[in-house]
């Protein structure tokens, strides 16, 4: 029984399978490979999926849901008529349709699939995707990161020999950027980055907003139907701008009339914020992979939004290298997922192929924040972009005299403060009481290619070991936890730090911490800790002076001018 590969996209979903020695796309009942990820409920409660449902986005917006992948793993509910659905329930309906298409095509039952997910999906979003598969009657042992799937497809389809790529996958709702190194039969993902909230629909919104502005309309005041019509027209105008210099957008009827002439130049201007947001993931992925832009052999554009000529031009300018036009930008991820499914199935034709992937986020534990014990700090154990499987250990010491227990909280994320990261679980261990900093535990995290994290805590004195295995389980916040978080947030507001400049400075420190790794990251943490400590003094002058210095230090680090940093004693010295 074949294992199928599914690209469960925000906008469109596809399914493929390895057949007769090659990746093969499976058509839907309309003979097309792209099935819109849209679900609608008609008057008598029948569920419509795909193209038909997409049509109803405009006609029956109240009964139709799209872009639900953006809410995957959250508690958001979608109301269709008088029924409510979770994002994973809606996704499972799309998956069920694809499964049926595959069964018809293969003339056999299909019970297992590999599903692709954005590399930046958290464990919670991954777990939700797996559940969607299960709800559709599919066993989903493996998920594959979308950029890894695209890379696999590039490798197999183009077969261009040993080289490295930057894969830029720009879809309807997400952007994934990755650096891939292909050597002989090994495809290695070196680094991934992305933006879960950036895609083609943002261009559509920009055009719609501009249309409203030019015609004296307030977008927010439009009815759901009017919004849907306008957005659809905007999308068509966007796509038309790929072929022609100027487009006319004319709306009449539905109490919505107006017109707009848009040329490419103006389009680039109004979408400037979108291009601006593309910079960060590109910079980060290059920095994390250690590859300079002039060392890239190829830039591969994947995803519907990459078909916009202005996107290709912008990347070409930014990286000073022209991207390679792909003949199959829409289907690369699905093909890769299908190839990976066959690899998992130990297909003899692919048994030599190896895909090495990485951990897209940092895994760590919480340690005491000496300046604010209520806000523990993240101590990274497995840093993002570590090659999988990865197993790393660190030693942690007690912080109180006579401490009898150490609780190791497990977090995922790039924030300096644990509370801003995702808590995956905890392991507790008993230790013999002793003066503080004497007793310790070795914490080992092991993260495998399936996204299964094992945490082990070991105390030498007692030779005792505690272990917990976190299998992409639902780590959603309970009501209680959510209330605790909310309370913590409100608490923040009455804190003396609640001055915008200080907040902003801390936020910049936090951001830089997220963007850096290793030694630089440790320096940022030191600086933040120092500035936090100054803040507790509540002395406005001292705080203002230190803030200035703190921001200068961050600026140096950000500009990569670490060599010019004063020594720690110097920057901490308030008289200098």
Footprint of Mg ion (CB under 5 A): 9, 171
Of the residues 225, 239, 270, 379, which one makes contact with ligand ADP according to CB under 6 A:
239
10 binds ligand ADP, rule: CB under 6 A: yes
If DSSP codes are grouped into helix, strand and coil, which group holds residue 326? coil
Q: Minimal distance in Å, beta carbon 37 to ligand ADP?
A: 6
Q: DSSP H helical segments within 323-429, as ranges?
A: 332-344
474, containing H or E segment: none
> What is the number of the residue whose Cβ is closest to Mg ion?
171
Q: Compute the least distance from the CB of residue 36 to Mg ion, in Å.
A: 13
Question: Is 148 a residue that touches ligand ADP (CB under 6 A)?
Answer: no
DSSP secondary structure string, 172-209?
Answer: SS-EEEEEEEEETTEEEEEEEEEETT-SHHHHHHHHHH
Tokens of 110: 């299909």
Find the shortest distance in angstroms from Cβ 35 to Mg ion. Answer: 13
Q: Taking CB within 5 to 8 Å according to partner kind, which of ligand ADP, Mg ion, none is near residue 323?
A: none
User: From the list 56, 238, 444, 523, which residue makes contact with ligand ADP (rule: CB under 6 A)?
Assistant: 238
Contact, 141 vs 129, CB < 8 A? no
Q: Which does 50 bind (CB under 5 to 8 A by kind): ligand ADP, Mg ion, none?
A: none
Contact 222, 256 (CB under 8 A): yes
- Indicate the residue among 9 and 133 with the shorter CB distance to Mg ion: 9
Among 21, 29, 161, 242, binds ligand ADP (CB under 6 A): 242
Please state the closest distance from residue 162 (CB atom) to Mg ion, in A: 27
Minimum CB separation of residue 326 from ligand ADP in Å reads 12
Site stretch for ligand ADP (CB under 6 A), options 86-94, 234-242, 374-382, 495-503:
234-242
12 binds, among Mg ion, ligand ADP, none (CB under 5 to 8 A by kind): ligand ADP
Query: Measured between alpha carbons, how far is 275 from 69 in angstroms, rounded to an integer?
Result: 22
Residue 11 binds: one of Mg ion, ligand ADP, none (C-beta under 5 to 8 A by kind): ligand ADP
Q: How would you classify the pairing of strands 163-170 and 298-302?
A: parallel
CB of 309 to ligand ADP, least distance (A): 8
Which range in 38-46, 199-207, 439-447, 556-564 contacts ligand ADP by CB under 6 A? 199-207
Report the alpha-carbon distance of residue 444 to residue 491 in Å, rounded: 34
Closer Cβ to Mg ion, 9 or 36, answer by number = 9
325 binds ligand ADP (CB under 6 A): no
Three-class HEC string of 89-110: HHHHHHHHHHHHHHHHHHCCCC
Measure the CA–CA gap between 121 and 95, rounded to whole angstroms.
18
Q: CB burial class (10 A; 0-12, 13-18, 19+) of residue 546?
A: buried
Task: Give least dist CB 57 to ligand ADP, A.
Answer: 13
Residue 47 CA to residue 322 CA, distance in Å, equals 44
Q: What is the DSSP track for 512-553? A: HHHH--HHHHHHHHHHHHHHHHHHHT--HHHHHHHHHHHHHH
For residue 317, count CB atoms less than 10 angstroms from its CB and return exposed for 0-12, middle for 13-18, buried for 19 or more: exposed
Q: Which is nearer to ligand ADP, 36 or 366 (CB)?
A: 36
**What's 476's DSSP letter?**
P
Residue 501 CA to its chain's centroid (Å) = 29
- Interface region with ligand ADP, contact rule CB under 6 A, candidates 172-180, 386-394, 519-527, 535-543: 172-180
**How far does CA 537 lie from the centroid of its chain?**
38
25 interacts with ligand ADP by CB under 6 A: no
Q: How far is the CB of 81 from ligand ADP (least distance, A)?
A: 25
CB-CB contact of 360 with 145 (8 Å): yes
The least CB distance from residue 226 to Mg ion, in Å, is 28
Nearest approach in angstroms of CB 244 to ligand ADP is 12
Q: How far is the CB of 215 from Mg ion (least distance, A)?
A: 33
Quick one: which of 11, 226, 271, 475 contacts ligand ADP (CB under 6 A)?
A: 11
Q: What are phi and psi of 226, to 5 degrees?
A: -60, -40
Question: How far is the C-alpha of 393 from the C-alpha of 271, rounded, in Å?
Answer: 45
Burial of 129 (0-12, 13-18, 19+ CB in 10 A): buried
409 binds ligand ADP per the rule CB under 6 A: no
Near ligand ADP in 276-315, by CB under 6 A: 303-305, 307-308
Nearer to ligand ADP, 84 or 269 (CB): 269
| Site for ligand ADP contains 12 (CB under 6 A) | yes
Question: Which among Mg ion, ligand ADP, none contacts residue 242 (Cβ within 5 to 8 A by kind)?
Answer: ligand ADP
Which of Mg ion, ligand ADP, none does residue 133 bind to, with CB < 5 to 8 Å depending on kind? none
Give me the residues that bind ligand ADP (CB under 6 A), please.
9-12, 171-174, 199-201, 235, 238-239, 242, 303-305, 307-308, 330
């Amino acid at each position: 029984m074949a294992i199928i590969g599914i690209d469960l996209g925000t906008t469109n979903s596809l399914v493929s399978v390895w057949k007769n020695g090659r990746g093969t796309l499976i058509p839907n009942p309309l003979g097309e490979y792209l099935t819109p990820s849209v679900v609608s409920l008609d008057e008598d409660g029948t569920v419509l999926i795909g193209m038909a449902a997409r049509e109803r986005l405009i006609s029956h917006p109240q009964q139709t849901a799209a872009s639900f992948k953006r809410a995957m793993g959250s508690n958001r509910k979608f109301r269709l008529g008088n029924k409510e659905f979770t994002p994973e329930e809606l996704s499972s309906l799309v998956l069920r349709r694809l499964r049926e298409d595959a069964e018809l095509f293969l003339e056999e039952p299909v019970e297992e699939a590999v599903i692709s997910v954005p590399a930046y999906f958290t464990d919670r979003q991954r777990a939700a995707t797996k559940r969607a598969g299960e709800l559709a009657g599919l066993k989903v042992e493996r998920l594959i990161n979308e950029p890894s799937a695209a890379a696999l497809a590039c490798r197999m389809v183009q077969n261009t020999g040993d080289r490295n790529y930057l894969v830029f996958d720009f879809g309807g709702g997400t952007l994934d950027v990755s650096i891939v190194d292909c050597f002989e039969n090994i495809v290695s993902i070196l680094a991934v980055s992305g933006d879960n909230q950036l895609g083609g629909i943002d261009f559509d919104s920009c055009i719609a907003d501009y249309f409203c502005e030019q015609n004296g309309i307030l977008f927010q005041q439009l009815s759901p139907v009017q919004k849907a019509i306008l957005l659809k027209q905007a999308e068509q105008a966007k796509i038309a701008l790929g072929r022609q210099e100027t487009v006319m957008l004319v709306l009449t009827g539905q109490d919505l009339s107006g017109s707009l002439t848009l040329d490419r130049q103006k389009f680039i201007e109004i979408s400037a914020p979108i291009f601006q947001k593309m910079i960060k993931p590109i910079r980060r992925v290059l920095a994390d992979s250690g590859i300079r832009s002039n060392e890239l052999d190829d830039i591969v554009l994947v995803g519907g939004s990459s078909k916009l000529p202005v996107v290709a031009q912008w990347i070409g300018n930014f990286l000073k290298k022209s991207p390679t036009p792909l003949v199959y930008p829409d289907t690369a991820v699905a093909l890769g997922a299908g190839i990976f499914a066959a690899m998992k199935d130990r297909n003899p034709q692919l048994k030599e192929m190896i895909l090495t992937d990485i951990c897209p986020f940092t895994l760590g534990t919480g340690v005491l924040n000496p300046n604010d014990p209520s806000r523990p700090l993240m101590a990274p154990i497995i840093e993002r972009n570590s090659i999988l499987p990865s197993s790393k250990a660190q030693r942690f010491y007690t912080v109180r005299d006579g401490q009898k227990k150490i609780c190791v909280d497990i977090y995922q994320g790039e924030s300096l403060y644990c509370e801003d990261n995702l808590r995956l679980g905890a392991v507790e261990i008993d230790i013999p009481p002793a003066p503080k900093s004497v007793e310790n535990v070795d914490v080992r995290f092991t993260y495998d290619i399936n996204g299964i994290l094992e945490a082990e805590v070991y105390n030498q004195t007692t030779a005792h070991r505690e272990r917990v295995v976190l299998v992409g389980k639902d780590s959603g916040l309970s009501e209680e936890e959510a209330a605790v978080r909310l309370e913590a947030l409100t608490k923040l507001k009455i804190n003396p730090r609640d001055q915008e400049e200080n907040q902003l400075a801390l936020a910049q420190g936090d951001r830089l911490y997220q963007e850096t790794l290793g030694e630089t990251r440790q320096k940022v943490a030191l600086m933040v800790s120092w500035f936090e400590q100054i803040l507790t003094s509540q002395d406005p002058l001292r705080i203002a002076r230190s803030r200035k210095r703190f921001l200068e230090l961050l600026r140096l680090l950000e500009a990569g001018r670490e060599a010019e940093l004063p020594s720690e004693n110097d920057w901490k010295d308030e008289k200098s």
